[in-house]
Structure 1
Amino acid sequence: MRKLTYFIATSVDGFIGAPDGDGDFFYTHLDAEFIEFLTTEYADTVARLGRDHLGIADAPLSRFDTVLMGRATYDIGFKQGDTNPYGHLRQYVVSRSLTAAPDPQVELISGDVVARVRELKAEDGLDIWLCGGADLAGQLIDEIDEFIVKTYPFFLGTGMPMSRAGFGLRTLELTGAKTFGGGQTVTSYAVKR
């Protein structure tokens, strides 16, 4: 069975974006060592424009073949004219308001997202990347199998949280940790069921 992995960037205090959801500030704090790690270990998660810019457009899929995102996450690229941000992956956008997919390579999920994710997990293939955001992570909290958290050396004080799942003790097992000279850390956790 495929895993659903929440691979996300966050501040030290657990925010994935400003109160309005903007997370562009994460891109201001990338050093060569961290970029090398991301493009080597997690190239699947680099958007099409970034893949072109970094010279990894043709990198084979290694970890994920499917990306799942909420409407607000999708809108970040859409508002800049990019209707197909992860064309190298199967793309799913969860939305109750969109009635038609803005791009033929994007599939909408407007109904029971948990049931659809369970169907996707039962398929053959590489793992599924939960790209964001907080509401979708909250809806899927019991379906997430792994968390990979890129923590940046920022303290924001307020903003969009990693999840709106509500309080609950969910036990995780640390499976990896790596630190970088620019102050970033990447920690991996498996969900203990």
Structure 2
Amino acid sequence: MRKLTYYIACSIDGFIGDPQGDATSMFAFLDPEYVGFMAAEYPETIPTQGREALGIDADNKHFDTVIQGLGSYQLALDIGVTSPYGHMREIVASRSLTESPDPNVELIADDLVGRVRELKAEDSPLGIWLCGGSIVAGELIEEIDELIIKTYPQVYGSGMPMFGAGFEPRDFELGAVRTFDNGVLVRTYTRKR
């Protein structure tokens, strides 16, 4: 069975963006060492246009499908990009967007959990990347098998939490930890089931 991995950037205090979801302040930490790590280890998580600009022509290493909410997808639409991850199958969870602006983008309005379970049952060596945002992560929290948290050395004080879900402790086991000279910390957690 394939894994659903929530691979997400956040502040030290656990916010993935400001109250409106903007996380552009984290871009200041995209130095050569850290970008090199992302390009080598998670090249598929770099948007297609960014891959082209950086000269990244790597196969997908971990994921062949990306799921995101409309808020995350809207960032691409706002700059005229209808398929930000054209090198993967793209799924956007949205109840308000009724027609896909791109043939590579599948819209899911209802039963996101059911669709994720179908994806997890597919025969593929690669997993599914949950890109964001908070509401979608909250809806899929019970389906998440792995967390890869890129913590940036900033404190937001308030903002959009990693999970838009009610209180209920869920246990994960710490795996790999990678630190960077710019202060970024990348931690991998596996779900204890």
TM class by shorter chain equals over 0.9
Secondary structure, aligned partner of 2:40 = helix
Partner of 1:189: 189
Shift in Å at residue 123 of structure 1?
A: 0.4
Secondary structure, aligned partner of 1:91 = strand
Partner of 2:51: 51
CA contact (8 A) 2:42 2:60 kept: no
Shift in Å at residue 146 of structure 1?
A: 0.2
Shift in Å at residue 132 of structure 1?
A: 0.0
* Aligned Cα root-mean-square deviation (Å): 0.7
Matches within 5 A, 1:12-161: 12-56=12-56, 58-125=57-124, 126-161=126-161
| Cα distance in 2, alignment partners of residues 46 and 170 from structure 1 | 29
| Cα distance in 2, alignment partners of residues 166 and 54 from structure 1 | 40
For each residue in 1:54-99, what CA deviation from the matched residue of structure 2 results, as whole angstroms up to 9, or x when unmatched? 110x211111000000011100111110101000000000001111
| Cα distance in 2, alignment partners of residues 128 and 15 from structure 1 | 22
**TM-score calculated relative to the size of structure 1:** 0.98
**TM-score calculated relative to the size of structure 2:** 0.98
Secondary structure, aligned partner of 2:141 = coil
For each residue in 1:123-172, what CA deviation from the matched residue of structure 2 results, as whole angstroms up to 9, or x when unmatched? 01210000000000000000000000000000110111101121111011
Larger CA deviation: 26-35 vs 152-161: 26-35
- Hey, which bits of structure 1, 4+ residues long, moved more than 2 A? none
Shift in Å at residue 36 of structure 1?
A: 0.7
Shift in Å at residue 12 of structure 1?
A: 0.1
Unpaired stretches in structure 2, ≥5 consecutive residues: none
Shift in Å at residue 188 of structure 1?
A: 0.2
Unpaired stretches in structure 1, ≥5 consecutive residues: none
Once the two structures are aligned, what percentage of the paired residues are identical?
A: 55
The aligned length equals 192
| Cα distance in 1, alignment partners of residues 58 and 15 from structure 2 | 30
| Cα distance in 1, alignment partners of residues 60 and 20 from structure 2 | 32
Shift in Å at residue 31 of structure 1?
A: 1.5
Secondary structure, aligned partner of 2:190 = strand
For each residue in 1:5-31, what CA deviation from the matched residue of structure 2 results, as whole angstroms up to 9, or x when unmatched? 000000000000111111111112212
Secondary structure, aligned partner of 1:142 = helix
| Cα distance in 2, alignment partners of residues 170 and 23 from structure 1 | 26
